[in-house]
Amino acid sequence: MRNTVISMFISIIVIIAIYAIIGRFNEDFAVKTNPIAVALGLCCGSVITWLISYRKRKKDPKAQQKYALEKIENKDERNVSLRGKAGNFTFLVTLLTLGIITSIFYFMNYEIPTFISAGAVFVHIVSYLGALLYFEKKE
């Protein structure tokens, strides 16, 4: 699982580097003029990396055993508790960051970025509360 994530990030970095190199020499293909091409390249690179990893895992019996052990380890109570604590900490840090950014935009009199970041804070809180209610009912 970890190797899949690492290979996905490496492929994304390689694709960005290729776009940057091509954009350096070909102004029509530059990132500043064609962001859709960059987004499409990132998505395609991620999907291709996932497909290669999935096929490799399905064909190799050692990889299947390793994947089964990872699934068991991921369901371990201690690991679930650690992921929950890390998720809560990440939630608070993200919420604090968005709040600071919203305040900075407000004091700089930037109306549109203020509304966008305030909307992001609102979506962040609502999604947290929605997930909390959903998982409390599920248990």
Q: Return per-residue pLDDT of the chain as tens, 139 residues.
A: 556 666 666 776 777 667 666 666 666 655 555 666 667 777 777 778 788 777 777 777 777 777 777 777 777 777 778 888 888 888 889 889 888 988 998 888 888 888 888 888 888 888 888 888 888 887 6
Residue 74 contacts by C-beta under 8 Å, 6 or more apart in sequence? 80
What residue type is assigned to position 42 of the chain? L
pLDDT, residue 9, reads 67
**In the listed set 59, 75, 91, which residue is the last one of a domain according to the structure?**
75
Q: How far apart, in whole angstroms, are the C-alpha atoms of residue 86 and residue 29? A: 40
- Judge if 57 and 11 occupy the same domain: yes
Region of 32 on the Ramachandran plot (φ > 0 left; ψ -120 to 50 alpha; else beta): alpha
pLDDT, residue 42, reads 74
| Domain limits for position 130 | 77-139
CA 53, 43, 57 angle in degrees (round to 5)?
10
pLDDT, residue 112, reads 87
**In the listed set 26, 45, 75, which residue is the last one of a domain according to the structure?**
75
pLDDT, residue 138, reads 76
- Judge if 48 and 102 occupy the same domain: no
**In the listed set 35, 58, 75, which residue is the last one of a domain according to the structure?**
75
Q: How far apart, in whole angstroms, are the C-alpha atoms of residue 53 and residue 3? A: 9
- Judge if 127 and 86 occupy the same domain: yes
- Judge if 70 and 85 occupy the same domain: no
- Judge if 85 and 52 occupy the same domain: no
- Judge if 23 and 53 occupy the same domain: yes
- Judge if 50 and 98 occupy the same domain: no
